[in-house]
Amino acid sequence: MKDYRDMVVLVTGANRGLGRAFVDALVERGTGKIYAAARNPQEFGLPGVTSVRLDVTDRAQVAEVAHSASDVTMVINNAGVHLRSSVFDDDCVDVVDGVLNTNLLGSLAVSAAFAPLLIANGGGVIANMLSAGSWLAGPGNLAYAVSKAAALSLTNNLRAELGPRGVQVTAIHAGFIDTDMMAAFPGPKLDPRAVADEALTQIAAGSQEVLVDEMSQKAKAAAALPVPRFGS
């Protein structure tokens, strides 16, 4: 069982929503040091929290943060965007490209920059905030679903490379979370703090896959079913 009091954690997309919930949950656990990273960082005024400017799509900025935060032992790749898109939209390729740049390549850039540091610091954790959408497809959800499915593959490949080097790589999946990103979606939503607490608890126990809710559990199970014949 990992003790957060001994850890130095970087959270991306930390200024609001789920990212802010991760920061608050880490503070409550007495985490040794927290880097709260965001494109437009805010001063948290919380013990042990250092605000950091970071746009995960800016490679130079990622390298700069990795240099200045070389003591990190855990990375939470939380930064993400959601834009509705359909194959019938004239700009669908551009929209998917933009979402992939943040949700996939941003996580890859941060992971690649910090992986050597985690290994040098004795091993550590990379936790990628994914989604039930990693397995779900539907009209209007092209960009987000593609990005999260690709990010799941990224997570699996990172685990294969980094696990033997002492780095735990955890995929976190959840359904609709009550954040600004999901404000337009009707129906019940998960409390961001509850998601953060569950993820951190399972990560500390060594889990490399966290299925926070029933939607995630059912989405993964459904993905293993045979693809139906066309027209059935």
- Torsion angle (degrees, nearest 10) of CA 23, 186, 139, 172: 30
Catalytic residue positions, numbered? 144
Residue with tokens 């900025």: 61
Q: Which residue has the tokens 């130079």?
A: 60
The number of angstroms, rounded, from the C-alpha of 102 to the middle of its chain's C-alpha atoms is 11
Gyration radius of the chain's alpha carbons: 17
Cα–Cα distance list, 130 to 81, 100, 123, 205 (Å): 11, 13, 22, 19
What are the tokens at 33?
């040091």
Angle between helix 105-120 and helix 92-103 axes, rounded to 10 deg: 10
CA 226 to chain centre: 28
Checking DSSP bridges between strand 33-38 and strand 49-53, what pairing results, if any?
Answer: parallel
Closest CA to 190 of 210, 157, 212: 212
Q: How many CA atoms lie within 13 A of 36 on its CB side?
A: 27
Find how far residue 82's CA is from the centre of its chain.
13
Report d(CA 106, CA 98) in Å as an integer: 11
